[in-house]
Amino acid sequence: MTELTIENILLLVTFFIPGFIYLKSYRLFVPDIKNDFSKDWYEALGISIINFIIFSYPIYKINEIDFLKIYPFAYFLLFGFMIIIAPILWAFIFYKISSKKWFSRFLINPTKSAWDSFFSKRESFYVIVTLKNGRKIGGKYGMNSYSSVFPQKNDIYIEELWKLNKKGGFKYKVEQTQGILITEGEISTIEFYL
């Protein structure tokens, strides 16, 4: 039976934890259906191995000079960075790279829908929402507005209501407005204006 030492525990943690942290972090950047982690086992293991390969030389050098006995706090700090912080950084870097337009020429954009892609920009617009019954609602979609993300239904909260004129333009802000929540089942189209 293998002896339970700090080195063996760190080796076990090194090959399993980073991949799961990466997957969990990446799903915070790109919403996804909640999966059973047992289905992510091979992907997590593969990511952990890639993470280990990236850090293999520093790990070799640290273990070569018996760094654990000389500087135990720094040793655990470095392993903490490699196991916890680095996978979060890899997820963030991959998210940023994959959301660039040039990236879509090589691989599929990870964003699940046009809705998520558009609203993830977090920009302010004036909007006209046409409901399925034909009614038009004008408003300001600003920094306090909200739109749901995949896998939730495409609901939208607009922070300010605006009265529309007969030509469909914005006339004035409705007094004492606290906004409006419109559910996916009611939305036909949404128009955006600067």
* pLDDT (0 to 100) of residue 159: 93
Instruction: Please check whether residues 25 and 44 belong to one and the same domain.
Output: yes
Instruction: Please check whether residues 74 and 39 belong to one and the same domain.
Output: yes
Structure tokens given for 29: 């950047």
The closest of 20, 49, 15, 17 to 35, measured between CA atoms, is 20
Give percent helix, percent strand, percent coil of the chain, each to the nearest 5.
50, 20, 30
Q: Nearest 5°: CA angle at 124, between 111 and 175?
A: 135
- pLDDT, block means (10 residues), the chain with 194 residues: 67 82 84 66 86 86 78 84 92 83 67 73 87 91 86 86 88 88 89 90
**DSSP state, 166?**
T
Q: Could you tell me the CATH number of the domain that includes residue 181?
A: 2.30.30.100
Q: In what order do the strands lie in the sheet with 156-158?
A: 146-147, 156-158, 180-182
In a domain, 144, yes or no: yes
Note the residue count of the chain: 194
Q: Which of 51, 74, 105 is the last residue of a domain?
A: 105
Instruction: Please check whether residues 95 and 121 belong to one and the same domain.
Output: no
Structural domains counted in the chain:
2
* pLDDT (0 to 100) of residue 162: 92
* pLDDT (0 to 100) of residue 111: 65
Instruction: Please check whether residues 93 and 119 belong to one and the same domain.
Output: no
Instruction: Please check whether residues 134 and 97 belong to one and the same domain.
Output: no
In a domain, 122, yes or no: yes
* pLDDT (0 to 100) of residue 63: 75
Structure tokens given for 172: 């004035």
Contacts of 181 (CB under 8 A, 6+ apart): 155, 156, 157
**DSSP state, 122?**
-
Instruction: Please check whether residues 62 and 128 belong to one and the same domain.
Output: no
Domain that holds residue 28: 6-105
How many whole angstroms separate alpha carbon 157 and alpha carbon 167? Answer: 24
Instruction: Please check whether residues 85 and 24 belong to one and the same domain.
Output: yes
Beta strands in 72-150 (DSSP E): 125-131, 136-141, 146-147
